[in-house]
Amino acid sequence: MSGASTDQYSAGEQGLGYIYQPRFALLKLLQLPESTSVLIEKDDDLDFVDKDGVKTLASLKHKAVGDRLTDLSTDFWKSVRIWLARYNRDGRSDASLQFFLFTTGTVSDTSFLRHVLDGHVADDEQEALSQLAADALSKSGSKLINGIAKEFHDLNPEEQEDFLSRITIFDGSPRIADVPAIIKDERMRSVRREFRDAVFERLEGWWNDLAVKLLTGQRTEPIFGYEVSDKLSAFADEYKSDNLPITFRGKTPAGEIDADNDPRLFVVQLREIGIASNRIRNAILDYYRAFEQRSSWARENLLVAGELESYEDRLVDEWGRYKDVVFEDLHDESADDVLLAAGKALYRWADMESGNISALRIREGVTEPYVVRGGFHILANSRPLPRVYWHPRFLSRIGAVVGATE
């Protein structure tokens, strides 16, 4: 069944409202000066503070399509109740406060609220806002609104006018599904069009994690606009021609890592040269991250034709050159301990040094070591024969070695 729910008890719009807050906050921080900061669910849905210390309390209303805001709409008056409390707390007319209402609905043409719409220009004959509000409130039979009216009338006439003058309504605000397109169109023009979806997904994932930290108290400082700009710039840089995005740093496979019994060929090779279990575990992580990272790049069509094959050829060539140096003094009669030592030396280079060699990067900007280290493990796992190996005699023994683990 398609279409919006008509059930009066549907929680759909309320649910959208909760996830609308962080997405809308991201949009506004990208649109406002970078010195602006935001907190979520503190004094209001969103609290914005500019460089001069002026705080804007923003109420967000994600409404059903066609919803209209009228004189006695509870959406407006519930926000007024919140704002009145903050206005009283901060010294009334001395308060450095503004009040914004962002609603996806529209203000009725016959409502006095049109006088506080963004962009409205008051005419010379307009009644005072306080009188317009009082006239509207006098028509209410709602206990909720009447209670708010009492709080409003506790202000003196000058304070009532001052309070209402601080309110701005932005109707027709973007709906939650429209926000990504706006961000991509307005703020990502420096990002190649084919990569904007991926960059936005990365940005929003980082942003949502930051919002959770704010809401759970893990972060107590507000988020500044420049933090968003810096993160967006960093993500965008990863999609330039000399770079690739790194999205598996710190990630681990779903299953348990069993370094002592893993049957994969690259792990068998490491056990053959006596590598300790904790180092084998690191190798398994490098393999997983490199493999999944390559798959991600392929899904996003970030690699040019033949790039991965050419990269692996470079790794094999560099490995071969270092292998020839390490194995140079070996001969047919070399003792097992000498062979093991040579294998460990070759692997030590791949494990500890190769990730820092700029010539081994798949692209100049890709500096994450697991891409290189994991690349060697992928090559060591090739079938029927590995393209790289560590023990000098591994290729001649591979049948017996692999057979014993199967």
Per residue in 255-270, pLDDT (tens digit) is 899 999 999 999 999 9
What is the reported pLDDT for 127?
82
DSSP state of 117: B
Tell which of 210, 233, 256 closes a domain.
233
Among the listed residues 369, 195, 379, 380, the one whose alpha carbon sits nearest the alpha carbon of residue 299: 195
Do the domain assignments include residue 318?
Answer: yes
CB atoms within 10 A of CB 384: 7
What is the reported pLDDT for 162?
96
Beta-carbon contacts of residue 319 (< 8 Å; ≥ 6 apart) = 350, 376, 379, 388
Residues 33, 144: one domain?
yes
Cα R_g (the chain), whole angstroms: 31
Q: How many domains does the chain have?
A: 2
Where does the pLDDT of residue 400 fall: very low under 50, low under 70, confident under 90, or very high at 90 and above? low
Q: How far apart are CA 107 and CA 240, in angstroms?
A: 44
Token code pair at residue 8? 């009066």
Evaluated on CA atoms 194, 197, 200, 205, the torsion sign reads negative
Residues 66, 148: one domain?
yes
Q: What is the mean pLDDT of the chain?
A: 92
Residues 293, 219: one domain?
no
Cα 328–Cα 329–Cα 332 angle in degrees, nearest 5: 105
Beta-carbon contacts of residue 227 (< 8 Å; ≥ 6 apart) = none
Section 383-394 average pLDDT: 94
Residues 210, 297: one domain?
no
pLDDT at 381 over 80: yes
Residues 392, 350: one domain?
yes
Residues 269, 343: one domain?
yes
Q: How far apart are CA 362 and CA 311, in angstroms?
A: 6
pLDDT at 126 over 90: no
Do the domain assignments include residue 245?
Answer: no
Residues 279, 370: one domain?
yes
What is the reported pLDDT for 47?
98
Name the more confident of 82 and 122.
82
pLDDT at 97 over 90: yes
What is the reported pLDDT for 119?
87
Residues 197, 61: one domain?
yes
What is the reported pLDDT for 5?
47
Token code pair at residue 102? 């962002």
Cross-strand partners of 107? 69
Q: How far apart are CA 101 and CA 111, in angstroms?
A: 15
What is the reported pLDDT for 396?
87
Tell which of 181, 216, 233 closes a domain.
233
pLDDT at 2 over 60: no
What is the reported pLDDT for 131?
93
| Residue 76 Cα to chain centre, angstroms | 32
- Relative to beta strand 46-49, strand 55-61 is antiparallel
Q: Judge whether 286 and 374 are in contact, CB under 8 Å.
A: yes
Section 240-269 average pLDDT: 95
Tell which of 233, 251, 284 closes a domain.
233
Q: At what angle do helices 369-380 and 307-326 cross, to 10 degrees?
A: 80
Among the listed residues 398, 369, 400, the one whose alpha carbon sits nearest the alpha carbon of residue 382: 398
Residues 397, 290: one domain?
yes
What is the reported pLDDT for 401?
61
Section 199-222 average pLDDT: 96
Helices (H), 154-224: 157-165, 179-187, 196-216
Residues 386, 286: one domain?
yes
Q: How far apart are CA 11 and CA 172, in angstroms?
A: 21
pLDDT tens digit sequence for 148-188: 999 999 999 999 999 999 999 999 999 999 999 999 999 99
In 294-394, DSSP assigns E strands to none
Do the domain assignments include residue 2?
Answer: no
DSSP state of 175: P
pLDDT at 275 over 60: yes
User: Tokens 């009066």 belong to which residue?
Assistant: 8
Q: How far apart are CA 70 and CA 111, in angstroms?
A: 5
Residues of the domain holding 382? 265-405
Helices (H), 49-137: 74-89, 129-137
pLDDT at 246 over 60: yes
Token code pair at residue 82? 């919140």
CA torsion angle for 366, 370, 376, 379 (degrees, to 10)?
Answer: -90
Q: How far apart are CA 368 and CA 103, in angstroms?
A: 44
pLDDT tens digit sequence for 287-321: 999 999 999 999 999 999 999 999 999 999 999 99
Do the domain assignments include residue 212?
Answer: yes
Residues 281, 370: one domain?
yes
CA atoms in the 13 A half-sphere facing the CB of 364: 4
Q: How far apart are CA 169 and CA 98, in angstroms?
A: 11
Where does the pLDDT of residue 28 fall: very low under 50, low under 70, confident under 90, or very high at 90 and above? very high
Cross-strand partners of 234? none
* Total-model pTM: 0.81
User: Tokens 């169109």 belong to which residue?
Assistant: 185
Residues 293, 153: one domain?
no
Do the domain assignments include residue 238?
Answer: no
CB atoms within 10 A of CB 131: 14
Helix (H) or strand (E) holding 38: strand 37-40
